[in-house]
Chain A
Amino acid sequence: MADVLKRVPVREQDAKERAANFEEVCYGYNKEEAMEEAARCINCKNAKCITGCPVAINIPGFISQVKEGNIEEAYKVIGESSALPAICGRVCPQESQCECKCIRGIKGDPVSIGKLERFVADYALEHDIKPAKADKTNGHKVAVIGSGPSGLTCAGDLAKLGYEVTVFEALHELGGVLVYGIPEFRLPKEKVVKKEIEKVKELGVKFETNVVIGKSTTIDQLMEEEDFEAVFIGSGAGLPMFMGIPGETANGVFSANEYLTRSNLMKAFDDNYDTPIAAGKKVAVVGGGNVAMDAARTALRLGAEVHIVYRRSEAELPARVEEVHHAKEEGVIFDLLTNPKEIHVDENGWVKGMTVIKMELGEPDASGRRRPVEIPGSEYEIELDTVIMSLGTSPNPLIASTTKGLETNRRKCIVAEEENGQTSKAAVFAGGDAVTGAATVILAMGAGKAGAKGIHELLSKK
């Protein structure tokens, strides 16, 4: 008899093996494992897990279907709230959302809600189960800017209500951070992202790639010349930050965005693709978020010795616990309480090393985290050929600067109402990282849902 306090373990690729390939690390549950794990859910009347989910999926509802082996029914329950379950089941930080509210977690492991959601969604992808579509269109045209998680969710929700939705994407592939940011080994592109987006297409949503709003056309022109009655901006926060230290424009210094875009979107790791990547032999990734972990594990797979250089201690690492754990297993070295001061460049303009300084934690700052302070005289030099800067991103100002009457705050984020996404401009809504700054996939989805609700409230009155 299995121990009900412990979750059914999930099968993973061996750490040594996977450190040298781009295949998915976690294999997920099979049907037997999923049904066994689902049986641990006690189907609470007043289910706390739902309150932890930003899109409020009926979690006990879908899990009780899994328990019975009715996977198609379970998929329908999830589909009422989420358009991208195969993605969220993989990349949501469940430990701080649904799973941290699970009653089972008080005396044992919480139910593996994320892995169950993933199983149901993968099953639907494999068995080509289609989402429920609107009977007919209502004739209202809506434009969605950006095909990341918030845009896809907003578009999917509106299409289900009968709207004629067109999504405009600046890049040549759909998915935003799901295709250029999150690596293949965490989120397979062909097998999961593409197929999940196909499901949004099946709802009737149209997509136009290679359209840079603010350049190829503007929001005002979409509304005035192309008859879109409302617009949802889900353009994300894709502008990388640099430190401003000497040597930062040297060859071999990348933003994590560039490094990951080359590897994920352009598939530079695959010799059959034309885009090159400078793999490096010894790489420092500066930063401690999920993006830093992704960049570090990518560099590792390209054959480098990789160091995470982070100015605070392990407890403050903003990355998901699971990702830090995976990175360590694979051999990423953590240089904690360490901060770069200067990048050294050889006579050909390439990185040859970096001076770093040791830090200690001082008083808590405004955000409540203990502020790192330099330890005087503790500088030392490390030898390197590649530095990847992963210091966070901010919204691209292009859209705000070309849209009349669209208010932004001092961090260049678009100002929008939380409950319906309404911006300072009539019939223009916004959500996701474009409003909050860099956050999570599921929060962006939640904002996409709110935006769809706001747009529906506005246009159904017409």
Chain B
Amino acid sequence: MYKILKAEKLAANIYLMDVEAPRVAKHCEPGQFVIVKMDEKGERIPLTICDYDREAGIVTIVFQPVGASTTKMTNLKAGDAFRDFTGPLGRPSEFVEEDVEELKKKKFLFVAGGVGAAPVYPQVKWLKEHGIDVDVIVGSKTKDLLILEKEMEAVAGNYYPCTDDGTYGHAGMVTTMVDELVEKGNKYDVCVAIGPMIMMKFTCLTTKKHEIPTIVSMNPIMVDGTGMCGACRVIVGGEVKFACVDGPEFDGHLVDFDNAMKRQQMYKTQEGRAMLKVQEGDTHHGGCGNCGGEN
């Protein structure tokens, strides 16, 4: 069992937890993720590593309830535990392996959308710790949904919050902020974009226009997360890759986002059914799953 030491709500629909997992904490690097399973009957779900404390053996995860399992997870409190917590999984971000002196010559731009601020944070923090200041754009629908502001401001060189409704920071999408920074004369060697697939797709279209090489972190359906099933396969540069072992980070200009988005919908109806079951509790009698209504 993996004990939850802290559980807090960061924003309306975003949760943070500190979990005791010494092996993961000791070995994880920016760019990697974990797979958790809540209880005996739970499913395995991939989650972002947001932070880690190697000495204390703690891994911080951030998640958004999107389906039945993550909705159930929001009920967990400090003192509860996950039955299973596996990782770190996936490859670390490429820069972790690079020569720091070479890295210092590069100008990085990070673009985070919504809960994507969580996986961006350890990357920006790692670079800061290695003496590299980077520009960070964080976007959300509205002011109340922006997360990890203080933390991000502390490690970013320039921090540019954006809200779709203009309630805070720059008014508009992250992509218009990218345009603005480039038009102001900023030159970037690498862009890292993490967030919902649709946001990564449009960020890539924008950076392509400006000829900025762009890395994205894919979030497809996963089961084992160790390369044994291929549920998470994505098409990159015409080739089939497994996001859990070959990624999750890929060259965003080569990713087939339309295919990836369709694959993400695969269990939508089942997820909807499972969700109803959670919300309706004992009053749910499987009617929705058995009526065949949507077929």
Chain A interface (Cβ within 8 Å of chain B)? 170-172, 209-212, 215-217, 238-240, 242, 244, 248-249, 251-252, 254-255, 257-258, 261-262, 266-267, 271-276, 278, 348-349, 393, 396, 398
Contact = CB atoms under 8 A, between A and B. Distances in A.
A210 B85 contact: yes
B43 A212 contact: no
The interface centre, meaning the residue of A210, A249, A254, A275 with most chain B CB atoms within 10 A of its CB, is A210
Interface string B256-295: 0001001101110011001000000000001001000000
A391 B84 CA distance: 30
Given A217-B23, A252-B266, 15 more contacts: A216-B27, A217-B27, A238-B228, A240-B228, A249-B235, A249-B240, A255-B231, A258-B223, A274-B41, A274-B43, A274-B68, A276-B274, A278-B267, A396-B227, A398-B227
Contacts of B161: none
Interface string B222-233: 011011111101
A261 B223 contact: yes
Interface in B119-151: none
Contact of B289 (A172, A261, A271): A271
Contacts of B247: none
Contacts of B231: 254-255, 258
Nearest to B38: A274
Contacts of B234: 249
A238 B286 CA distance: 35
Given A251-B265, A271-B289, A170 B86 contact: yes
B253 interface: no
B37 interface: yes
Interface residues of B, number: 43
A273 B277 CA distance: 12
Contact of B84 (A172, A215, A273): A172
A244 B230 CA distance: 13
Given A216-B88, A217-B23, A266-B223, A273 B41 contact: yes
Contact of B44 (A242, A266, A349): A266
A242 B230 contact: yes
B274 A248 contact: no
Nearest to A345: B262
Contacts of A172: 37, 44, 83-84, 86
Contacts of B263: 249, 251, 349
A287 B286 CA distance: 35
A215 B227 contact: no
Given A172-B83, A212-B87, A216-B24, A251 B226 contact: no
A271 B227 contact: no
Contacts, number: 117
Contacts of B26: 217
B262 A216 contact: no
Interface string B29-46: 000100001000111100
A251 to B, nearest CB: 5
B16 interface: no
Contact of B86 (A212, A239, A240): A212
Contact of B262 (A215, A238, A251): A251
Contacts of A215: 27, 32, 87-89
Among B32, B43, B84, B228, chain A packs the most CB atoms within 10 A around the CB of B228
A276 B270 contact: yes
A257 B271 contact: no
25 contacts: A170-B224, A171-B86, A171-B224, A209-B84, A215-B88, A216-B23, A216-B27, A216-B86, A217-B23, A238-B227, A238-B228, A239-B228, A242-B233, A249-B233, A251-B263, A255-B231, A257-B228, A257-B229, A261-B223, A262-B223, A274-B43, A274-B68, A274-B69, A396-B226, A396-B227
B245 interface: yes
A255 B223 CA distance: 12
A273 B83 CA distance: 15
A210 B83 CA distance: 10
Nearest to A238: B228
Contact of B229 (A216, A261, A267, A271): A261
Contacts of A211: 23, 86
Contacts of A257: 228-230
Contacts of A251: 262-263, 265-266
Given A170-B226, A242-B240, A212 B89 contact: yes
A26 to B, nearest CB: 28
Interface in B2-31: 23-24, 26-27
Contacts of B83: 172
B255 to A, nearest CB: 12
A396 to B, nearest CB: 5
Nearest to B242: A239
Nearest to B72: A274
Contact of A248 (B41, B224, B240, B286): B240
Nearest to A225: B26
Interface in B147-178: none
B228 A261 contact: yes
A248 B241 CA distance: 12
A210 B86 contact: yes
A315 B227 CA distance: 33
Nearest to A216: B23
A240 B286 CA distance: 34
